[in-house]
Structures are given as C-alpha cells and as structure tokens.
A = this chain, B = another copy of it.
Amino acid sequence: MPDPAAVPPRAVFFDIEGTLLHDGACLEGAAEAVSAVRGAGLAVRFLTNITARLPAAIARALTDHGIEAHAGEVLTAASACAASLRRRPGCRVHLLVDHAVEPLFEGLPRDDHAPHVVVLGDIGARFTFAALDQAFQMLQRGAELWALSRNPFWFNDGRRQLDVGAFVAALEAAAGCTAIVCGKPTIPFFQAALDSVALAPDEVLMVGDDISTDVAGAANAGLACCLVGTGKCTPAHMAQAQTQGVTVLPSVAALPDFLRQGFPALDRPRQFH
C-alpha cells in the first residue's frame, strides 16, 4: 500500500559506474530502468565523477549500451567546475586535467605562473614531480586548489589504481590548504543538477552505488536517495544506509517496481554520516 506521506519524484538522478554500467558492461535491467523513468514522465540526469570524458562522449557510451542518454543530461565534475569558473569574471586557471575534457574550459584565460585556480583532475602518468611541484608553487602564490574529485583510487581492470584524490592529499599536506571539490558529494554539484531540471531537492531521487559520494552527497543536499547493491556497495554500506533511512535496492533493475509502489516511505536524511 502506498505511503500516504510519500511524494513521487519529478526527476531521477543516476550515478553511472556501478549503478548503470560495471566493468565496461551494462548492468542487467539498467536500460529498462532508465526507460521506465522516462516513460513515467520524469526528468533524467546522469551525475558522474568520471573526470576524463566529455558529457557527449559519456552519453554516447550509455547509448551504445542501450541506455537512452543525451549530452545535456550528463553532469560531470569537470563540466560543473568549468561552469563555476566561468561565473568568476577574469578568472585565470592552470589546468591539470585529462586532455579529453580540456575543451570544457575553453575561453577561460590560462596562467601557468600565478593563476587564481589550479584545477586538478585525473591525469594518470602526467602526475609527475615537476607537474605537482609547479602546482605547489602556484598554491604558495595564492591560487585555490579545485579538485574534480577526492577519490583516492579507482577500479581499473579489477584492481585499485591511484586517482586524483591521492594527489590532492599530497598538495594539501604541502601547501596547508583545503581543496574545493567539484563533483559528488559536494552540495554545489547537486545544486547545479537541480538547477538544470528546475526542481527542489525534495522532488528528486538520486540512485547510486557509492555511499560516500552518491548517498551522502544527495542526502546532505536534501535529496531522497536509493543505494543499489551493485558496484562499490558492501554489506556494511547497506546496513549503514538502512540505519540512516536510505532505501537499499539489490540493483537498479528494482527501481521501476519501487517507483510504481508510489515512492514508499522514502526518508530524506540530512547530514548523512
């Protein structure tokens, strides 16, 4: 029986890796779940901390896997970062980001000596001592450090590999600064996604597999959220989420049924720990 207090969502925000795709393949029922959300007249957004690809390329990859997606529906940490920097008149930047996403920053003046902002993404083998020490010099001259994510590692071919967050920690330790993180779980990132659908937090459901970025981020921004048991989610994460009023679904394939039940008993825990 539907919960009389429940309000149906008007949009669903999906995480991608671990929620819709995993290890290069589409998760069972993912395409159908996104279709069902669209079919019910809800807006769809894809919120990802992937730092090395453009929204259009991410939408294409989803479509190649049978999941309908459009470039304008994809929000990445890099696109949110570039949008924020553009709102600062005259902001000069030093970019340490994957070459593929550099076009997002087009038009922003570059400064490789004393920029206002150093933008740090995952640059893999380009994380050299020289590049990091140059960034450190800029931070000492007063630049802010903006990071596309704080993930210290990511899963590559089944093994954990160092990610941008490790190098953020290195620069923070040396410069005595605290990075501004652009992607999930920050509230401005979720706010940008809400702005793109012109909805309030309590009108949107976030669906993701990562308790620290998807669930905590959405909850702290006031969104309802579902944790799916695919990807990074562990039994301990499920138990933690349930304790704090987050709905746990075995996978995104269970989402259509969940929505058909009238969005039952969906708490919006704020200040998720």
Contact = CB atoms under 8 A, between A and B. Distances in A.
Interface of A: 124-130, 132-133, 136-137, 140, 152-153, 159-163, 165-174
A66 B161 CA distance: 49
- Copies of this chain, whole number: 2
25 contacts: A125-B128, A125-B129, A125-B130, A128-B129, A133-B161, A133-B162, A136-B160, A136-B166, A137-B159, A140-B160, A152-B170, A152-B173, A152-B174, A160-B174, A162-B170, A162-B174, A163-B174, A165-B173, A165-B174, A166-B174, A167-B170, A168-B173, A169-B169, A169-B172, A169-B173
Contacts of A166: 132, 136, 170-171, 173-174
Contacts of A165: 173-174
A164 to B, nearest CB: 10
Closest 6 CB pairs of A and B: A169-B173, A152-B174, A170-B170, A166-B170, A127-B129, A166-B174
A251 B149 CA distance: 46
A63 to B, nearest CB: 32
Contacts of A162: 129, 132-133, 136, 170, 174
A127 B52 CA distance: 22
Contacts of A133: 161-162
Contacts of A153: 136, 174
A169 B162 CA distance: 13
Nearest to A151: B174
A137 B158 CA distance: 12
